[in-house]
Structure 1
């Protein structure tokens, strides 16, 4: 049997970057508009909406250019982000169980060293960032991670917090588990057809292997029924 693989999205799954992201957006808008914009002034769906769309809705001119020049500075000076409780321990448990782990994220590779603690980066066998592959919902990042790990789709689980993550997992042919503590929330995930929704980051660990094994057994059952 091939080695089990668990891949993760970053923001909203391993990393609690909600406050950091919203504070950075409000700071950029404040500087651009010359009046104070607070997190409370942002739309309620700001955390799950493209950043340039949020700034444009606030009246910020040329938001794409502004984000390109100011986003890293704004994020680096905002509070956080923070690792969700239990994530480090869960990754250690997966490593001890000889499970291959990886990250598939829209974050830039240059940001990873100051977004994640060194201890977490050392526990990840592969990191696929936005400059490495076509972004989700395309499956390219997941498939690239599997190629680098010599993994198989049948023994892989992707943990994400959005329906975009789910679409990428389905396109790649791997199992998917929704992070109910993430940006989208469990109700949206359930309404979007997510069958497996984790309730807390402390569920990251060797218990995920049961989901991989269950998916494999279901696939075997379908194959047997088709004979």
Structure 2
């Protein structure tokens, strides 16, 4: 079972916006707040957002790291994550993360106890970024799991495209950035509007669980 990071395991919408505003403020020399950012800035390529604010050219990664390190202080792991991963591990389901975040920034978003529940992590520098399937294939290779026996939970259109290209079941996390309608539109095999009964649904999907009474009624 593979997961995207931002929007699926971590509530980082505010942190994404704060990073953009903080970095723009430091570079442009004038205060930029999250209210100054365009709608949808958290899911728009950062170069495009910053260009709209008047910043053109290459992004200084050290400056971006500084803004990210501060902004991610407000990011929080969703409450259901630790229990879900613990249940999957207890059932013998291998887990991994495939994210566009760099490895350096990973620990700024996930606490050690959650990272310890993951069997593998594929970051930006490890493989071609989604929507390419390379990161998913790399994670599955490390886990020794065939694509047909795996699923990937993502919250963006690129996640769904990557899952389908990799030959794994594409699960849309409707509570994330894109929303359930967008995920269904691009071909997710299953869209979960909310993370209720998340562990039970994933275990059932992997063929190692029984639906709860609430899941049966839904």
Using the size of structure 1 for normalisation, the TM-score is 0.86
Aligned to 2:17: 22
Q: SS of the counterpart of 1:134?
A: coil
Aligned to 2:187: 193
Deviation digits for residues 116-148 of structure 1, max 9, x if unmatched? 111111100000111111111111000011110
Instruction: Indicate if the aligned counterparts of 1:97 and 1:206 stay in contact, CA closer than 8 A.
Output: no
Aligned partner (choices 167, 173, 187) of residue 173 of structure 1: 167
Q: Does 1:122 align with 2:116?
A: yes
**Gapped regions of structure 1 (runs ≥ 5):** 1-5, 214-227
Aligned to 2:67: 74
Instruction: Indicate if the aligned counterparts of 1:175 and 1:212 stay in contact, CA closer than 8 A.
Output: no
Q: SS of the counterpart of 2:30?
A: coil
User: How many residue pairs align between the two structures?
Assistant: 207
Instruction: Indicate if the aligned counterparts of 1:30 and 1:36 stay in contact, CA closer than 8 A.
Output: yes
CA distance in 2, matches of 1:194, 1:133: 22
Q: SS of the counterpart of 1:65?
A: coil
Moved more, 181-190 or 157-166: 181-190
Aligned to 1:135: 129
Q: SS of the counterpart of 1:201?
A: coil
Aligned partner (choices 4, 26, 40) of residue 9 of structure 1: 4
CA distance in 1, matches of 2:200, 2:120: 18
CA distance in 2, matches of 1:81, 1:203: 23
Q: Does 1:39 align with 2:25?
A: no
Aligned to 1:57: 52
Aligned to 1:210: 204
Aligned partner (choices 91, 98, 116) of residue 92 of structure 2: 98
Aligned partner (choices 140, 144, 148) of residue 146 of structure 1: 140
Point out the structure with max Rg over C-alpha: 1
Moved more, 68-77 or 148-157: 68-77
Pick closer, same or farther for the CA change 1:170–1:38 going to 2, 3 Å. Answer: same
Q: Does 1:163 align with 2:157?
A: yes
CA distance in 1, matches of 2:197, 2:179: 16
Moved more, 7-16 or 23-32: 23-32
Using the size of structure 2 for normalisation, the TM-score is 0.90
Moved more, 46-55 or 204-213: 204-213
CA distance in 2, matches of 1:204, 1:71: 34
Deviation digits for residues 24-79 of structure 1, max 9, x if unmatched? 111111122222211111111111111111101110132x333x121111111124
